[in-house]
A and B are shown apart, each in its own frame.
Chain A
Amino acid sequence: MAEQRTSAKKAARTAPKAPARLAVRKTYKLYLGGGFPRSESGRSYPVTSADGDHLANASLASRKDARDAVTAARKAFSGWSGRTAYNRGQVLYRVAEVMEGRRAQFTDQLVAAQGVERSEADTSVSAAIDRWGYYAGWTDKFAQVIGGSNPVAGPYHNHSSPEPTGVVAVFAPQDAPLLGLTSVLAPVVATGNTAVVVTSEEAPLPAVDLAEVLATSDVPGGVVNLLTGRAGEIGPHLAPHGDVDALDLAGAGEHATAFEEAAAETLTRVLRPGPEAGGGERAWLDPDPGTSRMSPFLETKTVWHPIGV
């Protein structure tokens, strides 16, 4: 180490002085249909660290971005839900693999966003990566746990099997930008649904980093669509949307009731905020959340089959 340093110093003395390098700053954009467009509205908003320092500008998604996201999610649905459960598991495990390679980036992002200790951020990142592995394992197992054969009073085999609900609009937890987001998103896609996610408004940057991971880990474009912006602005258009089949209101906060009412018009399934709401990343640390976040986004198909035919 010491030798390297001295040789570097020598090199610096002899080499002509390089001009000061310009910073390469990232433009944080939406993740929509597998691409990274700016908001259709052209708007953005400043994102600050926990201390109030300016970190970056994030795109401020509009009603039309939400509309486009739903269209993209619908388009991706038949392909994604039609894949074998095993293949979906492999893809989700790949997400964990790619995330592992970008640990440092996620940790830095969380430290900046939440002002937490590095060790705590690291715990969050580990849990988030493990969460993808966890649901990757569930993809070809939840059908056995949630579905099954039913005893019926007649000469029939009777089977119930879970099928994905469709397009799920997810309001990600506001105070848990990475682990919370992963914990609500992974079960939705693991079961074969496609997702339109409204990320945490104050800390959207980890979500955009996650989008980069998703874009490079075999998740087909449109399966996950991430909108950075205000739940209160986008939600009133997503909740009553006729092509949104379910809502996860984990991060809808004060809007949860209004969104649920709006969703009633089109018989949209709704998952209300759970006990984790408002608890920050720590609230999502449970390593084994079971099927509680998968079964709300599954429909049961029951088939009667005559015995002896």
Chain B
Amino acid sequence: MPNTASAPEAVTERGLRAFLHGLPAVDEVGAAARAQDLATRSVKTTAKARAIDLAVSMVDLTTLEGADTPGKVRALCAKAALPDPEDRTVPTVGAVCVYPDRVGTAVEALRGTGIGIASVATAFPSGRAPLEAKLADTRAAVAAGASEIDMVIDRGAFLAGDHLKVYEEIAAVKEACGGAHLKVILETGELATLDNVRRASHLAILAGADFIKTSTGKVSPASTPPVLLVMLQAVRDHHRDTGRRIGVKPAGGIRTTKDAIRNLVLVDEIAGPDWLTPDLFRIGASSLLNDLLMQRTRLSTGVYPGPDHYTQD
């Protein structure tokens, strides 16, 4: 879809509005149909084996519960480094994703593995906190050793039409991140329309996001194929216009290997094969990894393994 609007030169509410509302409207029915159509792609045998390994390496293994203990985070890190203790050919996951106060535990547990440590910040999941608190949250996570920050946008401001506030918050958090990668969570389940998803995607990219992420996982619906499709179109268009590649991370509701492979098909078809790398595509999930491992075992041995052969956390 051609991007008819061009990015605003000076960042003002008026300029942002003109740019975002000048983006082509999303054909909701068409997007759903296209996503549905791509979901029927058949990926089998050797292609499936490659897709599974790729998906494993893209997983952001996540635990974001109030009840997260240091022990649970250590267990998660052990699993991230060695997903299947019975099969050392399984790649390590892309990153682990924890709350800021658990980053220290993860840093210790993952030392020497090369696995990224992502931390949610900015008053995750609601994002309803003063900017100073959000920045302090971010700085604390980065200081503790997080290499990636998952921030949430202020959906209230976005829906109220205050694009500039959202923009400035993202830019401020990006600055607070220093060298850490910034993933911006749009929480598409609260944005109501695909037009809004497209606008929020471009707004986040404009403000300096390295990744755009669908959801916190705390709101239903989380990541859906049409939403992912629109976000992939946004990064594709941005690359076409500027030559800069932005990553995409669907999160929430991706539980089965089939879902994961459908996501990879979307990435390949919409954004292009360049995005099929953990540097540009991640999947935020917790239970997905076990299903990937089970499918992997089933492919290599021909026998269905049971879920109790894998650790739960």
On A, residues with C-beta under 8 Å from B are 67, 70, 74, 237, 240-244, 265-266
On B, residues with C-beta under 8 Å from A are 303-309
B307 to A241, Cβ gap below 8 A? no
A67 to B304, Cβ gap below 8 A? yes
Cβ contacts A to B, 9 pairs, < 8 Å: A237-B304, A240-B304, A241-B304, A242-B303, A242-B304, A242-B305, A243-B304, A243-B306, A243-B308
- The distance in angstroms between the C-alpha atoms of A241 and B306, with both chains bound, is 7
A265 to B303, Cβ gap below 8 A? yes
- The distance in angstroms between the C-alpha atoms of A237 and B303, with both chains bound, is 7
Of the residues B303, B307, B308, B309, contact of A240 by C-beta under 8 Å: B303
- The distance in angstroms between the C-alpha atoms of A62 and B2, with both chains bound, is 45
Q: Whole-angstrom distance from the CB of A81 to the nearest CB of chain B?
A: 15
* Residues in B neighbouring A243, C-beta threshold 8 A: 304-308
- The distance in angstroms between the C-alpha atoms of A70 and B304, with both chains bound, is 10
| Residue in A closest to B294 when the chains form the complex, CB atoms | A242
| Residue in B closest to A167 when the chains form the complex, CB atoms | B306
- The distance in angstroms between the C-alpha atoms of A70 and B306, with both chains bound, is 10
- The distance in angstroms between the C-alpha atoms of A216 and B256, with both chains bound, is 31
| Residue in B closest to A63 when the chains form the complex, CB atoms | B304
B307 to A74, Cβ gap below 8 A? yes
- The distance in angstroms between the C-alpha atoms of A70 and B309, with both chains bound, is 15
Q: Whole-angstrom distance from the CB of A3 to the nearest CB of chain B?
A: 62
- The distance in angstroms between the C-alpha atoms of A139 and B303, with both chains bound, is 34
Chain A facing B: main interface SS: loop
- The distance in angstroms between the C-alpha atoms of A237 and B307, with both chains bound, is 16
Q: Whole-angstrom distance from the CB of B76 to the nearest CB of chain A?
A: 23
* Residues in B neighbouring A242, C-beta threshold 8 A: 303-306, 309
Q: Whole-angstrom distance from the CB of B144 to the nearest CB of chain A?
A: 38
- The distance in angstroms between the C-alpha atoms of A265 and B301, with both chains bound, is 12
| Residue in A closest to B303 when the chains form the complex, CB atoms | A240
- The distance in angstroms between the C-alpha atoms of A237 and B305, with both chains bound, is 11
- The distance in angstroms between the C-alpha atoms of A244 and B304, with both chains bound, is 9
- The distance in angstroms between the C-alpha atoms of A244 and B308, with both chains bound, is 11
The winner among B304, B305, B306, B308 for most chain A CB atoms within 10 A is B304
* Residues in A neighbouring B306, C-beta threshold 8 A: 241-244, 266
* Residues in B neighbouring A241, C-beta threshold 8 A: 303-304, 306
Q: Whole-angstrom distance from the CB of A76 to the nearest CB of chain B?
A: 14
| Residue in B closest to A244 when the chains form the complex, CB atoms | B306
Q: Whole-angstrom distance from the CB of A225 to the nearest CB of chain B?
A: 15
Known A70-B304, A266-B306; further 14 A-B contacts with Cβ < 8 A: A67-B304, A237-B304, A240-B303, A240-B304, A241-B304, A241-B306, A242-B303, A242-B304, A242-B305, A242-B309, A243-B307, A243-B308, A244-B306, A266-B303
Q: Whole-angstrom distance from the CB of A307 to the nearest CB of chain B?
A: 35
| Residue in B closest to A262 when the chains form the complex, CB atoms | B303
Q: Whole-angstrom distance from the CB of A163 to the nearest CB of chain B?
A: 15
| Residue in A closest to B307 when the chains form the complex, CB atoms | A243
- The distance in angstroms between the C-alpha atoms of A241 and B308, with both chains bound, is 12
- The distance in angstroms between the C-alpha atoms of A214 and B307, with both chains bound, is 27
* Residues in B neighbouring A74, C-beta threshold 8 A: 307
* Residues in B neighbouring A244, C-beta threshold 8 A: 306
Closest 4 CB pairs of A and B: A243-B306, A242-B306, A242-B305, A241-B304
Q: Whole-angstrom distance from the CB of A158 to the nearest CB of chain B?
A: 28
The winner among A70, A241, A242, A244 for most chain B CB atoms within 10 A is A242
Q: Whole-angstrom distance from the CB of A41 to the nearest CB of chain B?
A: 14
| Residue in B closest to A245 when the chains form the complex, CB atoms | B306
Q: Whole-angstrom distance from the CB of B291 to the nearest CB of chain A?
A: 11
- The distance in angstroms between the C-alpha atoms of A266 and B297, with both chains bound, is 14
Q: Whole-angstrom distance from the CB of B260 to the nearest CB of chain A?
A: 17
* Residues in B neighbouring A240, C-beta threshold 8 A: 303-304
- The distance in angstroms between the C-alpha atoms of A67 and B303, with both chains bound, is 11
| Residue in A closest to B305 when the chains form the complex, CB atoms | A242
| Residue in B closest to A66 when the chains form the complex, CB atoms | B304
Q: Whole-angstrom distance from the CB of A241 to the nearest CB of chain B?
A: 4
Q: Whole-angstrom distance from the CB of A255 to the nearest CB of chain B?
A: 16
Q: Whole-angstrom distance from the CB of B1 to the nearest CB of chain A?
A: 36
Q: Whole-angstrom distance from the CB of A179 to the nearest CB of chain B?
A: 31
- The distance in angstroms between the C-alpha atoms of A240 and B301, with both chains bound, is 11
Q: Whole-angstrom distance from the CB of A244 to the nearest CB of chain B?
A: 8
Q: Whole-angstrom distance from the CB of B62 to the nearest CB of chain A?
A: 23
Q: Whole-angstrom distance from the CB of B296 to the nearest CB of chain A?
A: 13
* Residues in A neighbouring B303, C-beta threshold 8 A: 240-242, 265-266
| Residue in A closest to B302 when the chains form the complex, CB atoms | A240
* Residues in A neighbouring B305, C-beta threshold 8 A: 242-243
- The distance in angstroms between the C-alpha atoms of A70 and B303, with both chains bound, is 13
- The distance in angstroms between the C-alpha atoms of A242 and B306, with both chains bound, is 4
| Residue in A closest to B309 when the chains form the complex, CB atoms | A242
* Residues in B neighbouring A70, C-beta threshold 8 A: 304
